[in-house]
Structure 1
Amino acid sequence: GYRAVRSALTIPIAGGECEFTRFGFRDLFTSHALDIAQPDTCAAGGLSECKKIADMSEAFGIRYNPHVWGTGIAIAASLQLLAVLPSHTPTSLAPIEPMLEFDRTEHPIRQAILKEPIEHEKGVVRVPDGPGLGIDIDREALARFAVSSSAA
């Protein structure tokens, strides 16, 4: 499907948020199906696997911008990954920094479970710099959203 869309349009095609591991992305890259790879860091194999996907996308000349949807934990993980990615330089264009897909759709627990919510200031999102993913989980807020096994 991506190949058909890409061959019919002149704009860059982004996708891959439902693809998993570097092996799935290898197939998308070798078939020239995407211009911008968008794996979901939390679903495609985590930080280590997504770094491998990012390295492979660079080798294929494909931009990499993670798909981010979910909680503040997902945002923090994607920010940590973005912090180690190089600029991508497509042919004849200036370097392009990877960017964060900063989802703002309604999501009741996205920011609520973080002691310090991740926000943007003038379009820039700071990479959390604490231990691990750089965030602190609000355990009390997390408990409010927990579902007991008897209620499930």
Structure 2
Amino acid sequence: AAISIPIAGGECEFTRFGFRNLFVSGALDIAQPDICAAGGLSECKKIADMAEVFGVRYTPHVWGTGIAIAASLHLLAVLPPHTRSSPISVAPLLEFDRTENPLRQAIVTETIEHTRGIVPVPNGSGLGIEIDRKALARFARR
């Protein structure tokens, strides 16, 4: 409350129950659940709905594989713009990590990229991506 910089967090929190505590205490301005850790698409949609009720923006934490990126894009595609704490409508944002990570794009047959800041939602069946099984096998522990 003492600073005007919005506080983002929650990437290490799990399920809507953990996020509820953060929302009730007013600890976050921007919720950042990780779809791969917080319970998947259904649970993260519940977290996003709860964030809206508490007036908290929702920007998923996305770090890992192309699978996580695809799942997060599909979730973001169904979220409404955030309007509570701003006089203008703010579309949900994707955290699009570009640090070195050989696993991120190697296991999907088509890489997920942005064009002028826009990342299209994959439109194939399921999450819209296809897993490269041979590439996945290269990362297997033996």
Q: TM-score range by the shorter chain?
A: over 0.9
- TM-score under structure 2 length normalisation: 0.97
1:87 matches 2:81: yes
SS of match in other structure, 1:120: coil
Question: Which digits, 9 at most, give the CA deviation of each residue in 1:25-78, with x for residues without a partner?
Answer: 000000111110000011001000000000000011110000000000000110
1:97 matches 2:86: no
Which residue of 2 is the match for residue 71 of structure 1? 65
Which residue of 1 is the match for residue 27 of structure 2? 33
Contiguous gaps of at least 5 residues in structure 1: 1-6
CA distance in 2, matches of 1:92, 1:101: 20
SS of match in other structure, 1:141: helix
Considering only CA atoms, is the larger Rg found in Structure 1 or Structure 2?
A: 1
Which residue of 1 is the match for residue 122 of structure 2? 128
Shift of 1:90: 2.4
CA distance in 1, matches of 2:39, 2:64: 15
CA distance in 2, matches of 1:141, 1:92: 44
SS of match in other structure, 2:41: helix
Shift of 1:145: 1.4
* Number of aligned positions between the proteins: 142
CA distance in 2, matches of 1:17, 1:109: 20
Identity of aligned residues (%): 75
CA distance in 1, matches of 2:115, 2:4: 33
The one-letter code of the counterpart of 2:36 is C
Contiguous gaps of at least 5 residues in structure 2: none
Alpha carbon RMSD of aligned pairs, Å?
Answer: 0.9
Question: Which digits, 9 at most, give the CA deviation of each residue in 1:81-125, with x for residues without a partner?
Answer: 000101110245211000000001111111011100000011100
The one-letter code of the counterpart of 1:75 is I
SS of match in other structure, 1:81: helix
Shift of 1:143: 1.1
CA distance in 1, matches of 2:85, 2:127: 33
CA distance in 1, matches of 2:46, 2:23: 13
1:56 matches 2:36: no
